[in-house]
Amino acid sequence: MQVHKYDVVIVGAGGAGMRAAIESGQRARTAVLTKLYPTRSHTGAAQGGMCAALANVEEDNWEWHTFDTVKGGDYLVDQDAAEIMAKEAINAVLDLEKMGLPFNRTPEGRIDQRRFGGHTRDHGKAPVRRACYAADRTGHMILQTLYQNCVKHNVEFYNEYYVLDMLMVDEEVTVDGVTRIQKRVAGVVSYDLASGELHVFQAKSIIFATGGAGKVFKTTSNAHTLTGDGMGIAFRRGIPLEDMEFFQFHPTGLAGLGILLSEAARGEGAILRNSEGERFMERYAPTIKDLAPRDIVARSMANEVREGRGCGPNKDYVLLDLTHLEPAHIDAKLPDITEFARTYLGVEPYTEPVPVFPTAHYAMGGIPTNVKAEVLQDSDNVIPGLYAAGEVACVSVHGSNRLGTNSLLDINVFGKRAGIAAAEYSLTADFVDLPADPEAYTVELLNHVRTSDGGEKVALIRKELQDTMDANMQVFRTAESLNKVLSDIASFEERYQRITVQDKGKRFNLDLLEAVELGFLLELAKVMTVAALHREESRGGHFREDFPERDDENFMKHSMAYKVAEGANAEHTAGIRLGTKPVVFTRYEPMVRKY
Amino acid sequence: MSPIETAETAPEPASKIELPAHIGGGGEIPTFDITLRVRRYNPEVSEDFVWEDYELTMYGTDRVLDALHKIKWEHDGSLSFRRSCAHGVCGSDAMRINGRNRLACKTLLKDLDTKKPITVEAIKGLPVEKDLIVDMEPFFQSYREIMPFLINKGHEPTKERLQSAEERARFDDTTKCILCAACTSSCPVFWTDGQYFGPAAIVNAHRFIFDSRDDAGDMRLEILNDKEGVWRCRTTFNCTEACPRGIQVTQAISEVKQAILSRQV
């Protein structure tokens, strides 16, 4: 085992991690640990754009953007955070342009902007052009630009170092006569995939920027590597996870495959049709139709299929129709996604509508943070020196449903904030002493996975988990379906104890890696489901058929899921205790959410 | 640029249309049997490379990556390869498939000759670490050497720098690069001379040299005028054929050559 010492360690090299690294690296000695080469991160798969009220092509302002974000999130958004994000969006876009990002341009040479779901003029009056974009590969250009700037600033990367544990110490502190436990963070433990060796990184500040957990579902736009590692590590170390019941299903995944077709397609004029050729969104969202927020469109699509108006041999998808758009327009604005339709489904979008169905896309919930990106250990107290940003975090700017483009914005705004805050903290703080045997937990974890020989296959358990999540935890949920997931997970966990990993080597043992990842997936699927079971209302991305209305009286609050220590005497469901955290209101009172 | 219809100018689409008859129909997706012949290597076990055959039943929309996963998940967990996004944008899974560099996640099995064994091996010219995994460090080292970041010596404006749509279009093609190394590792010059910058590094230099906002074109041209620079290119077009993003790699390289000769960007 080797021990490394840095002021700041950043875990994850997607958009949030690298945006943080650019700031932190110029202020303090910084290392970035990433399980993938940085340019492989899934930020690169984002397509449509990044919203900011630049008002380059029509009247707009950040207050409208804030409102749209709050309403889009069905009022579970912390309004102070949304306001910060919408305000800082403008500089976030300009920062990227100055770093070299090749945005599409207006005839005047300014950054061009286009429409996106849920982004409106003057509090919902009509769609507004707010999304800054680079064709339909905006995420690719953001990831490349951030990596380029990391190269420019000589950021130190540890590529293919998979972080498996966070080293925490509990301290008793007394403030105003009240004694409580204060968590402190000392470092992380990582596994070098190339050699199979463990490396401990001691740091004054640690930023988690590990992305999402879409692989708990079968049909997903997420990469194979998005297994919720950061959330899982934090949860195991006693940090709560906030609002995990809210998972976004993006309306337009390629049917059967889940590969994302950007909402920008609808922003550019594409429409959804059912088997009768009907533009059904006119019925569900009369004002902004196909550009309603994702939760509403996804639910409408699923409802069309349920009511027998699906297309195809099994009537299990609907159609995205671009055939009325000029091919030249499609080529200029949507080249990649139309290529996906051709490559993977053999459909020509110029002349044929494309089969689509909702695909698991984004975790609104995650590690709770405040607007400074500091991680909370409960509803009130931060853990000094620990930060999170991007999809792994829950600030909460997305509430119960994220608006399209706000994730690319989130990673830039809060990635930057995390990088600055972490570096500044590290310049004033001391190292926390590493615990004795810092790698003990990880050694035990890996030994168990490597030596267990019950014959259960990781891939099979994972597939069954994903199947039950798709069947029972997707767009429509009931207490019955959720309890089914929990009983399934209980049996998966039992089988997980008896897995056999075939690869016993040290070098690039990705078999072992997948087994560890499955452990995180099981843990997170359970947290999501327990939180969904407790939220007996419907809000944003969480729809309970047995509780179809929003219930502000009882549920206008964030959920906080805590892992209950074994043998602890606390009320829990499947080992998870649910607390709450108040929603921050500033200017917007909750209203009925209609579009 | 000719005016094109946008969402603003295009006529509002019909609320209801007649769908083509075949949309409602379609049959079962066919299955077929394949042999995947994979070049295995694990120095923990042996220094030898070994071809191994796997007989698999696959579906109509499956890609080579699905076949590799089927082996790993159902037959032999030790088979090692990189992958992430699985739809051709992250650049993890460039490999040599039937002797040609491609992304495994973008190559549909039905588009290959499934009557014969499909061969899969690591990309060439970079040290193999295990099975289909190569050491990417030399590749990224070349990339870093061409200074792949915007260098602008002027005053920083308060808002964005202006750039016309035409100026933006000038380097659009080379912004698509995902650094998968399919081009560089298909280049015969790179195979024999690992010092050669290789097509990917030149593509990324091109992306900045022809960006109207960048002021360091001369420095990059000087770097690529080196004996291991663009002049090593023998215009075999392997790189252009290999690029999964459809970048006109050879053309980009020749534009850089032209720029060096004329020193006018």
Nearest chain A residue to B43 by CA distance is A507
What pLDDT, on the 0 to 100 scale, is given for residue A566?
80
3-state helix vs strand vs coil in chain A, percent to 5 = 35, 25, 40
Instruction: Give the span between the Cα atoms of A199 and A10, in whole angstroms.
Output: 14
Quick one: A296 exposed, middle or buried, by C-beta within 10 A (0-12, 13-18, 19+)? buried
CATH of domain A440-552: 1.20.58.100
Specify the CATH number for A2-246+362-428; select among 3.30.413.10, 3.40.47.10, 3.30.70.520, 3.50.50.60: 3.50.50.60
DSSP strand pairing (B31-40 vs B118-121): parallel
Residues B129 and B141 in one domain: no
Q: Which residues of A20-45 are buried (b: 16+ CB within 10 A; e: fewer)?
A: bbbbbbebbbbbbbbbbbbbbbbbbb
Q: Is residue B121 part of a domain?
A: yes
Domain hosting B98: range is 31-134
User: What is the residue whose two structure tokens read 């994000």?
Assistant: A85
Residues B235 and B143 in one domain: yes
Q: Is residue B78 part of a domain?
A: yes
> Of the candidates A39, A140, A326, which has its C-beta nearest B5's C-beta?
A326
Helix residue ranges per DSSP H, A452-568: 458-472, 479-496, 510-534, 552-555
> Using the beta-carbon criterion (under 8 Å), do A508 and B164 form an inter-chain contact?
no
Residue-range domain boundaries for chain A:
2-246+362-428, 247-361, 440-552
Contacts of A30 (CB under 8 A, 6+ apart): A6, A7, A8, A9, A10, A21, A24, A155, A156, A423
Angle (CA) A497 A499 A505, round 5°: 125
Tokens of B158: 């308060």
- Fold classification of A247-361 is Flavocytochrome C3; Chain A, domain 1 (3.90.700)
Nearest Cα residue to A345 out of B59, B244, B178: B59
Instruction: Give the span between the Cα atoms of B74 and A563, in whole angstroms.
Output: 33
Residue A256: list chain B partners with CB under 8 A.
Answer: 61
Q: What percent of chain A has pLDDT over 70?
A: 100
Residues B90 and B171 in one domain: no
Q: Is residue B237 part of a domain?
A: yes
Residue A501: list chain B partners with CB under 8 A.
Answer: 77
Nearest chain A residue to B132 by CA distance is A508
Tokens of B76: 């032999």
Instruction: Give the span between the Cα atoms of B89 and B69, in whole angstroms.
Output: 18
Nearest Cα residue to A53 out of A98, A20, A16, A85: A85
Nearest Cα residue to B265 out of B165, B155, B139, B171: B171
pLDDT in tens, A293-330: 999 999 999 999 999 999 988 899 999 999 999 999 99
Nearest Cα residue to B181 out of B219, B142, B216, B150: B142
Q: Are A338 and A330 in contact (CB under 8 A)?
A: yes
A415 labelled ligand-binding: no
Instruction: Give the span between the Cα atoms of B99 and B186, in whole angstroms.
Output: 10
Number of structural domains chain B divides into: 2
Q: Is residue B8 part of a domain?
A: no
Residues of A with catalytic function: 294
> Using the beta-carbon criterion (under 8 Å), do A45 and B92 form an inter-chain contact?
no
How far off is chain B from A443, nearest CA to CA, in Å? 21
Residue B91: list chain A partners with CB under 8 A.
Answer: 39-40
Instruction: Give the span between the Cα atoms of A233 and A245, in whole angstroms.
Output: 18
Q: Which residues pair with A554 in a beta bridge?
A: none
Nearest Cα residue to A90 out of A135, A130, A47: A130
Residues B121 and B208 in one domain: no
**Tens-binned pLDDT, residue by residue, of chain A (595 aa):** 899 999 999 999 999 999 999 999 999 999 999 999 999 999 999 999 999 999 999 999 999 999 999 999 999 999 999 999 999 999 999 999 999 999 999 999 999 999 999 999 999 999 999 999 999 999 999 999 999 999 999 999 999 999 999 999 999 999 899 999 999 999 999 999 999 999 999 999 999 999 999 999 999 999 999 999 999 999 999 999 999 999 999 999 999 999 999 999 999 999 999 999 999 999 999 999 999 999 999 999 999 999 999 998 889 999 999 999 999 999 999 999 999 999 999 999 999 999 999 999 999 999 999 999 999 999 999 999 999 999 999 999 999 999 999 999 999 999 999 999 999 999 999 999 999 999 999 999 999 999 999 999 999 999 999 999 999 999 999 999 999 999 999 999 999 999 999 999 999 999 999 999 999 999 999 999 999 999 999 999 999 999 999 999 999 999 999 999 888 888 899 999 999 999 999 999 999 998 9
Position B21: which residue type?
A
A250 labelled ligand-binding: yes
How many C-beta neighbours within 10 Å does residue B177 have?
Answer: 26
Instruction: Give the span between the Cα atoms of A351 and B20, in whole angstroms.
Output: 10
Contacts of B186 (CB under 8 A, 6+ apart): B100, B101, B123, B124, B238, B239, B241, B242
> Using the beta-carbon criterion (under 8 Å), do B165 and A104 form an inter-chain contact?
yes
Position B42: which residue type?
N
Phi (first) and psi of residue A69, to 5 degrees? -65, -40
Residues B44 and B109 in one domain: yes
> Using the beta-carbon criterion (under 8 Å), do A100 and B178 form an inter-chain contact?
no
- Per-residue confidence at B23, pLDDT binned at 50, 70, 90? low
> Of the candidates B10, B77, B133, which has its C-beta nearest A511's C-beta?
B77
CATH number at B86 reads 3.10.20.30
Sign of CA dihedral A413, A419, A422, A423: negative
CATH number at B193 reads 1.10.1060.10
Instruction: Give the span between the Cα atoms of B37 and B98, in whole angstroms.
Output: 9
